[in-house]
Amino acid sequence: MTYHVVEDPIKKVAIFGGTHGNELTGVFLVKHWLENGAEIQRTGLEVKPFITNPRAVKKCTRYIDCDLNRVFDPGNLGKRMSEDLPYEVRRAQEINHLFGPKDSEDSYDIIFDLHNTTSNMGCTLILEDSRNDFLIQMFHYIKTSLAPLPCYIYLIEHPSLKYATTRSIAKYPVGIEVGPQPQGVLRADILDQMRKMIKYALDFIHNFNEGKEFPPCAIEVYKIMEKVDYPRNENGEIAAIIHPNLQDQDWKPLRPEDPVFLTLDGETIPLGGDCTVYPTFVNEAAYYEKKEAFAKTTILTLKAKSIRSSLH
Amino acid sequence: MCSRPEPPEPLRRVAVVGGTHGNEMSGVCLARYWLRAPGELQRPSFSAVPVLANPAATAACRRYVDCDLNRAFTSAFLTARAHPDDPYEVTRARELNQLLGPKASGQAFDFVLDLHNTTASMGTCLVAESSHDVFAMHLCHHLQLQSPELPCRVFLYQLPGEESYSVHSVAKSGLGLELGPQPQGVLRADLLARMRALVAAALDFIQLFNQAYRKVSSVDFPRTETGDLAGTVHPQLQDRDFEPLRPGAPIFQMFGGKDVLYEGESTVYPVFINEAAYYEKGIAFFQTEKLTFSVPALPGLAPAPSPAP
């Protein structure tokens, strides 16, 4: 006898673009869907496209005062509303009101948050919870549908490194990250990839709601271990840069003896340590100020039980 | 009336500029590095001065603060009276014009190389106003020959009737170096290495140019009392520009058949041998000599490194 996980059907879905105003694929797709949402409609499902940081989008900058994608923690969400609060904190409270409140019954079921990266990460899905059968099944479905185009799954579950994302106010938060694309640039190939990821995600939800049973599955994920900063000089300026051998090599195995940084004097700095890791977010422009040259991950297999909608 | 070519002067005052756009990282990184360690910008006949053009935009990792610095070098902006509300980049353009110019004056720097990146897949691109800057065109050609396996394209950007507006237009001659694709705010090691090598090749070319055209003096033709030509360039000197001329070698042949010998004490390198336009200037050839000496960097021209972000 198979054991199914039974979940309520999905009712409310949101697709966020412009959480970072210069990551243009999501901005453009959401703006398009606000004009003509046919492509994202599925029967029985409410799918709402939404621009989360309109002021940053207007200026084509990542953020105005602070990173919107880092302020959805209870501390910031609970602060008393005031003009003195950073723009993004005020905005986070508005978004929490519209699509949350976070951790309540009324919050949206699923939020897809669309991002780009300057790193060569290809199509990436970001998972926040390793024990979420529903999302593991969804990611498995998307990955299988995209093949042979690779699709990587980044698990950011970690006691200290996990951050309070915009999408975290939903019951099922999904990060969609496609790169490489420069900030402020819109590439047709990247747009097409992100569009497909959303299409397959919505198809999955629709199939699930219609009663399809998804048998147990397993997915390979890259779990964050540690973030590595650039070597810096006494002024805090970058003293070495991502080595050419590591540049563009997101998700590929990196061994302790492999070079990771190159100084301007020509010195090579190896990874060190005692295990092979899988680097990601290699040379992401927006992470220079966050002191992250790349993130080290380890490969895990996550399993999901069979799932089925409760209405069938 | 034929045109008279100017005998070229050596290039002494050269600047390499990074961070004109604060998020084009190859130039930002190299300018900061050279401000701390300028050794690799030195050549025997000159030292190039590193300049971080837009410190505020660089500190914020943005293209500009108020307006594009690389459009601010028009005479309208440069000569207007300063006003406290002026955009940051207009004020900065005036400062750079003091440092590297004034534009279109005799005191301007001889050559400015301005380092840029683009998100477009332009590979290696040399940007000049027009083909009128002959020195810049020669430099482009030299850089193209340096790396035949890597296409190096020349882009002439100035429209007819348009005034020049770029940082490098401040100097007597200049060039923009545009490398891509690289995202804004990202520093790629491969493009950084290529930019560094191109700057080195450009400075090597200037050094070569300076050596060859290191004019010491000119030598006139042998003349009669009335000033007419009494002889001409000797067949063994004719067409031998840049080749060593040693003491005792023949330089003129008199119409009567006698040879006039070079009587200097050291080997020289003659140029512009038998240039038509120079007969009336009393020049049969220029004597140049190859000298090696260090020129210290000019102090007080480079701003202090900007504080950590």
Q: What is the pLDDT of residues A62-75, one digit of tens each?
A: 999 999 999 999 99
pTM of the model: 0.80
Confirm whether A269 is domain-assigned.
no
Residue A129 falls within a domain, yes or no? yes
- Does residue A289 form part of some domain? no
B185 interfacial to chain A (CB closer than 8 Å): yes
Contact A247 B190 (CB under 8 A): yes
The torsion angle over the Cα atoms of residues A33, A39, A40 and A41, rounded to 10 degrees, is 120
In this complex, is the C-beta atom of A169 within 8 Å of any C-beta atom belonging to chain B?
Answer: no
Which candidate, A28, A295, A20, A50, places its Cα nearest to that of A183?
A: A20
Domain count across chain A: 1
| A215 pLDDT more than 70 | yes
What CATH number was assigned to the domain covering residues B14-211?
3.40.630.10
Which residue(s) pair with B259 in the sheet? Answer: B253
pLDDT of residue B297: 36
HSE-up of B118 (CA within 13 Å, CB side)? 13
The verdict on a CB contact (< 8 Å) between B305 and A286 is no
User: Domain residues for A54?
Assistant: 5-221+302-309
Determine, yes or no, domain membership for A203. yes
Q: Does A186 touch chain B (CB under 8 A)?
A: no
Chain A residues with CB inside 8 Å of B182's CB? Answer: 182
Give the active site residue among A7, A88, A177, A284: A177
Instruction: State whether B186 and A235 contact (CB < 8 Å).
Output: no
Q: What is the per-residue pLDDT for B306?
A: 46
Q: Look at residue A279 and tell me if it is in a domain.
A: no
Residue A160 has pLDDT above 80, yes or no: yes
Residue of B nearest to A180 (CA): B183
Q: What is the mean pLDDT of residues A158-170?
A: 91
Residue B245 distance to chain A (closest CA, Å): 42
Mean pLDDT of A97-107: 94
| Interface predicted TM-score (ipTM) of this complex, two decimals | 0.83
Q: Measured between CB atoms, does A242 come within 8 Å of chain B?
A: yes
- Overall average pLDDT of the A117-138 stretch: 97
**B109, two tokens:** 């720097």
**DSSP bridge partners of B155:** B127
Q: Token pair of A30, please?
A: 């959401």
CA quadruple B266, B271, B274, B275: dihedral, nearest 10: -150
Is residue A70 within 8 Å of A47, Cβ to Cβ? no
Residue A278 lies inside a defined structural domain of this protein: no
Sequence-distant (≥ 6) Cβ neighbours of residue B242 within 8 angstroms? B212, B269, B270, B271
Best residue in A59, A117, A237, A262 for a mutation probing chain B (most B CBs within 10 Å): A237
* Structure-token match 């939903």, residue found: A170
**pLDDT given for residue B20 in this prediction:** 98
Q: Is residue A280 part of a domain?
A: no
> Rounded to the nearest 10 degrees, what angle do helices A188-209 and A24-35 cross at?
60
Overall CATH class of domain B221-282? mainly beta
Q: If you write DSSP's letter for every residue of A6-26 in order, what string do you get?
A: EEPPP-EEEEEE-SSTT-HHH
Q: Are B297 and B16 in contact (CB under 8 A)?
A: no
B222-251 b/e with 16+ CB inside 10 Å = b? Answer: beeeeeeebbbbbeebeebbeeebeeebbb
Q: Is A262's CB within 8 Å of B183's CB?
A: no
Say whether residue B235 is in contact with chain A using an 8 A CB cutoff: no
Residues of chain B with pLDDT under 50: 1-6, 292-304, 306-309
- Picking from A264, A282, A294 by the largest number of B CB atoms within 10 A of its own CB, the best residue to mutate is A264
Residue bearing the bigger pLDDT, A204 or B10: A204
Question: What is the chain A residue with the closest CA to B306?
Answer: A235
B264-304 pLDDT, tens digit per residue, is: 888 987 866 776 556 767 878 877 765 543 333 333 334 44
Identify whether A245 is part of a domain. Answer: no
Residue A312 pLDDT exceeds 70 = no
Give residue B271's pLDDT. 67
Question: A with B: how many residue pairs have Cβ under 8 Å apart?
Answer: 60
A289/B33 CB distance under 8 A: no
Of A161, A274, A152, which Cα lies nearest the Cα of A221? A152
C-alpha angle B251-B252-B258 in degrees, rounded to nearest 5: 120
Task: Out of A236, A264, A285, name the one closest to residue B186 (CB).
Answer: A285
Residues in chain B: 309
Question: Of A181, A180, A176, which is closest to residue A195 (Cα–Cα)?
Answer: A176
Give the three-state DSSP class for B260. Answer: strand
Give the start-to-end residue ranges of the domains of chain B. 14-211, 221-282
- Alpha-carbon torsion, ordered A177, A178, A184, A187, to 10 deg: -160
Please report, in angstroms and rounded to a whole number, the separation of the first and last CA atoms in chain A.
17
